[in-house]
Structure 1
Amino acid sequence: MKLVRSLLRAAPALAALTAAGVLAGASGAQAASTGPDVIAHRGSSGVAPENTAAATRLAVRQDADFVEIDVQRTKDGKLVNFHDCTMERTTDVEEVYPGRPSYRVSDFTWDELRVLDAGSWFSDRYAGEPLITVDRVIDIVDRRSGLLAEISPCGHYDASLPADLAELLRSKPRYVERALARDRLAVQSFELDDARGIKDLMPEVPIGVLDADRPTDAELVALSAWADQVNPQYTVTDQALVDRVHELGMDINVWTVDEPGAMRAMAGLGVDGIITDYPQSLT
């Protein structure tokens, strides 16, 4: 858990927003109370290009409890941290490889992807910022922050992605042991088969199920038989849902919460974690 204290590092506009919103009226006693885990969505993606080393390092410096990443696989089997199913939005892939029939991560080798610029779209300050492997993310967060790895829901993958992630995690046994001892490792997915797959392979790792809609009670009861977390969109989350998830023995992390009033409301409901583009506004 983190203390809701002050905005450490942010753009001036965010600092003003946070001061006026999250922290407004907080007494010393309120500031000293513990709050939800702070989960940096794609790293500190509000102020650095998402899913890059820059965003990951910034989230660590901002004392995020977890860095949330997206796991995809290249054509030659390398696991990379990338969200979108195709790469046009956040890289210069069309300029570097014009005329390719597809720009999905899985259509490129790691050697092809490592030369892409994944920072200029966000800011000239990050021009040339490269893509990053999941292995490198683990090296950055190890001993410093937690890792919440999302198995990509992109439909062009087969069922072996959970096995690939489990294999990578097993290749870092000392990391997994340290992270689990500190409750700083979890895996999540929108796809039930992927979530169940990683749970079967690594039952010691907490598993979360993402949901953009409000889960029914029957769904929650079914999930409670094997899942450790239910992670819904914050807009469908209320006190009754939080209480029911906890009653069933699971945690609840909400996403993606960037507005100060919503952060304050979710913390008030007693959620276990807040996934945000601006972790510095909660640490």
Structure 2
Amino acid sequence: MRIRPVSAVTSALLVLSTLVLAVPRAGAAAAAQAAAPPRAPLVIGHRGVPVQAPENTLASVDRADELGITWVENDVQRTKDGALIVMHDTTLERTTDVKRRFPGRARWKVADFTLAEIRKLDAGSWYDRRFAGERVPTLRSYLQRVDRNRQKLLLEVKAPELYPGIERQLAGELQRAGWLDARHVRGSLVVQSFSAPSLKAFHRVRPDVKTGFLGAPKASELRSYAAFADQINPHHRSVTSAWVRAVHALRGPHGRRLEVSAWTVDNGDRAVDLARTGVDGIISNAPHEIEEALEEDRDEQEQEQEDDGLSILGFLGL
């Protein structure tokens, strides 16, 4: 992220606000806060950067790192023999060559295959032959790679109703991988799910870990989610300014304001609109493009403020 120097115009306006206009301190602070552009939302790579690499693979998270994307999202499921792997669909058909390798095993459910069998699958050729031989990662290998890249993780428990007890197992795997120390828990990990019962179960096991509910409950229902979720993460089409304000008005289980991360946003104009509603995060298949759009919008807002400032200074003869 680029650090912008304070311009001469901005400096002059600050001096003007304190020495010339003599605005009361509280009023000046409120005016300055209102004039400042809102804090840009975090941009999170959805399954890595799937517009440039096969989703939910180590190649995809590495590509996110190369593009400077700090936060990545992934999905976790469980194999027949109890291993946790990174996979979005509950079947293996779409993103691997499972139909060719195991033609008689339709419907090719993740839960019907052992880890040894899944390790034989090619998870990259379907996307592009450049990624031939890419494998379905275990959760442990994925966590290690994200850590190596100094990235942060939004981890979704996918279809937990298919995997009884996965919440406690997930907590144990995170612990063994070193992801439940103070550093990770404080600012590098969020566990989310569409399932409120699953999220409650994980929160009971590890109440210190930040959690997110995937969905857009009615404003009148939000308080019940605030008991176990730090974030309410809706589809972007559900987001309105009023709804975001209703979420932000509540505090989650850790006593902090509830956050909103909208998904899945691949249009720059829509991302700008969402940023202006006050969302805290935007989840995207093309996170680098969304970051660029938000940066350009912020530059435009700052230029408009500079132009307004010059007009004021000219009017005052300064």
- Return the alpha-carbon distance in structure 2 between the equivalents of residues 135 and 61 of structure 1: 21
Structure-2 change in CA distance of 1:108 and 1:205 (3 Å): same
Name the amino acid aligned to 2:156: E
> Given the alignment, which residue of 243, 248, 265 partners 1:257?
265
Q: Which residue of the partner structure matches residue 151 of structure 1?
A: 157
* C-alpha contact (below 8 Å) 1:85/1:154 kept by paired residues: no
Say whether 1:46 aligns with 2:51. yes
Q: Which of 233, 240, 243 is the equivalent residue of 2:242?
A: 240
Q: Is the 8 A contact 1:52 1:129 kept in 2?
A: yes
Question: By how many angstroms is 1:155 displaced?
Answer: 4.6
| CA contact 2:267–2:290 (8 Å) conserved in 1 | no
Summarize the Cα distance change of 1:195–1:131 in structure 2 as closer, same or farther, 3 Å threshold. same
- Contact 1:116/1:130 (CA < 8 Å) preserved in 2? yes
Q: Tell me: CA distance 1:222–1:105, structure 2 relative to 1, closer, same or farther (3 Å).
A: same
CA contact (8 A) 1:3 1:33 kept: no
Matched, 1:192 2:186: no
Secondary structure in 2 aligned to 1:35?
coil
Quote the offset at 1:127 in angstroms: 1.4
Q: Normalised by the size of structure 2, how large is the TM-score? A: 0.75
The structure having more radius of gyration, on CA atoms, is 2
1:239 maps to a residue whose letter is S
User: Where does residue 210 of structure 2 map in the other structure?
Assistant: 206
Which stretches in structure 1 are left out of the alignment for 5+ residues? 6-31
Partner Cα distance (2:3, 2:224) in 1 = 34
Q: Could you tell me how far apart the structure 2 residues matched to 1:97 and 1:114 are?
A: 13
* TM-aligned CA deviation for residue 33 of structure 1: 7.2
Matches within 5 A, 1:29-108: 34-108=39-113
Q: How big is each residue's C-alpha offset from its partner over 1:77-130, in whole Å with a ceiling of 9 and x where there is no partner?
A: 111000001111111001001111431111111110011111111111111211
Once the two structures are superposed, what CA deviation does each residue of 1:158-193 show, in whole Å capped at 9, x if it has no partner? Answer: 2x1111111101113366432223x11010000011
Determine which structure has greater relative contact order: mean sequence separation of CA pairs < 8 Å that are 6+ residues apart, divided by chain length. Answer: 1
**In structure 2, the residue corresponding to 1:70 is in which secondary structure?**
strand
Could you tell me whether the CA contact under 8 Å between 2:231 and 2:260 is conserved in 1?
yes
Alpha carbons of structure 1 residues 45 and 109: separation in structure 2 relative to 1, 3 Å: same
Query: Which residue matches 1:16?
Result: none
- Where in structure 1 do 4 or more consecutive aligned residues deviate above 6 Å? none
8 A contact 1:169–1:176 mirrored in 2: no
Give the fraction of aligned pairs with identical amino acids, expressed as a percent.
40
Matches within 5 A, 1:160-171: 160-171=165-176
State the secondary structure of the residue aligned to 2:91: coil
Q: Which has the higher helix share?
A: 2
Q: 1:171 to 1:149 in 2, by over 3 A?
A: same
Q: Is contact 1:3–1:35 with CA below 8 Å preserved after alignment?
A: no
By percentage of residues, which structure has more strand?
1
Q: How many Å apart are 1:199 and its aligned residue?
A: 0.6
